[in-house]
Structure 1
Amino acid sequence: MHEDEDDAALFRAAVGKVDPLRTDAAPPPERPRPRPAVRREDDGGDARGMAGLLAGSPDAVLLRGDASAFRRERVNARDWQRLRRGQFAAQDELDLHGASALEAEMLVARFLAESLDAGFGCVRIVHGKGGAGGVPVLKNLVDRLLRQRGEVLAFHSAPPAQGGTGALLVLLSRR
């Protein structure tokens, strides 16, 4: 008898009688990934509260490191790839650091109107990464606002050298 056979026999003696696993058992169902809770504060329904509800919509909350992305169907794949890679030069920039949600909403609307009047094709909006309770308020607000604007063809989080997930490159339609 070899030493390997002795080891196997000793192991079987130590373990004792075992029952084989059932192979017909179904695997447990996958549990959904947890979603962060979004805190909503009712402040009486003023405009600041409406902007807060828009930013805090539970169906699509962006977190600090999440990339923002939106593309209308008429934007071709080549331009979309160039936007994602940051290969369009931003012709103007809006920095929203320190702005409240209501101020940001007005600043974005005015900035887009001025950019269209100037004939700009690509602009950058810096919204930052901070927010209440880990949820970036301005980032979510700007994402929702831009999706609703007809002049916005596409937007994507900027590459790291241009602000990363704290900024957006926005493609605008030409008049």
Structure 2
Amino acid sequence: MKPKTSLNPEELELFAQAIGSVKPLSQDKVNLKQPSPAQKSKQRQRLTFEKQQFHFSDEFEPQLPSSGPMKYVRQDADSFEAKLLRRGEYTPELILDLHGLKQQESKQEIAALLASCVKQHIKCACIIHGIGNQVLKTKVPHWLVQHPSVVAFHQAPLEWGGMGALLVLIDLPDDPFSK
């Protein structure tokens, strides 16, 4: 039978002096209470709420600029917001990279990103869609226009991805500075 420790008796004595007088635990297992049916119901409701995500339509065709940088400002917002995004006045706190994702996965990730921004009170996010075959580059702006939390978006400055990315400005419900 192997000893429990590889320490020699001198080291064991030194250890015992260092820790002083301690009482070993008689029982080190914790019996957790089972959640009540009401708690289980609340948890289930919370999980279902988190799973509900915004549904983007692929059929919707907004009127976006066909030339120049991709930009959009919601009707009830100040058009100067797009200029501030272009200048890099807003720094994105979350970045979503869609490289390698299919359209359906991209829609889910964008919806999750926007929900996260609202939940965490993040005003600006960056969505990197890439250039590639131009599929996501054309679809992402169409999806963003449909979401009620999106105030504005603009093609990102070079430092955040340039033509392959968008900076998105999020409407925060409790933000005293938003319109």
**Pairwise TM-score range, normalised by the shorter structure:** 0.5 to 0.7
Partner Cα separation in structure 2 for residue 112 and residue 173 of structure 1? 10
What's 1:69 paired with? 71
For residues 113-152 of structure 1, the aligned pairs below 5 Å read 113-131=115-133, 136-152=134-150
What's 2:161 paired with? 163
Task: Decide whether the 8 Å contact of 1:96 with 1:126 is kept in 2.
Answer: yes
Task: Decide whether the 8 Å contact of 1:54 with 1:141 is kept in 2.
Answer: no
What SS does the corresponding residue of 1:88 show, helix, strand or coil? coil
> Residue type matched to 1:116 in 2?
V
Task: Decide whether the 8 Å contact of 1:52 with 1:101 is kept in 2.
Answer: no
Task: Decide whether the 8 Å contact of 1:61 with 1:140 is kept in 2.
Answer: no
Larger relative contact order, structure 1 or 2 (CA cutoff 8 Å, min sep 6): 1
Q: Percent identity?
A: 33
Partner Cα separation in structure 2 for residue 129 and residue 160 of structure 1? 14
Stretches of 4+ moved more than 4 A in 1? 51-55, 59-63
Relative to structure 1, is the Cα distance of residues 77 and 148 closer, same or farther in structure 2, using a 3 angstrom cutoff? closer
Which stretches in structure 2 are left out of the alignment for 5+ residues? 1-55, 174-179
TM-score, structure 2 as length reference: 0.59
Which stretches in structure 1 are left out of the alignment for 5+ residues? 1-50
Partner Cα separation in structure 1 for residue 96 and residue 69 of structure 2? 18
Partner Cα separation in structure 1 for residue 136 and residue 65 of structure 2? 11
Partner Cα separation in structure 2 for residue 172 and residue 52 of structure 1? 20
TM-score, structure 1 as length reference: 0.60
Partner Cα separation in structure 2 for residue 93 and residue 73 of structure 1? 25
RMSD: 2.6
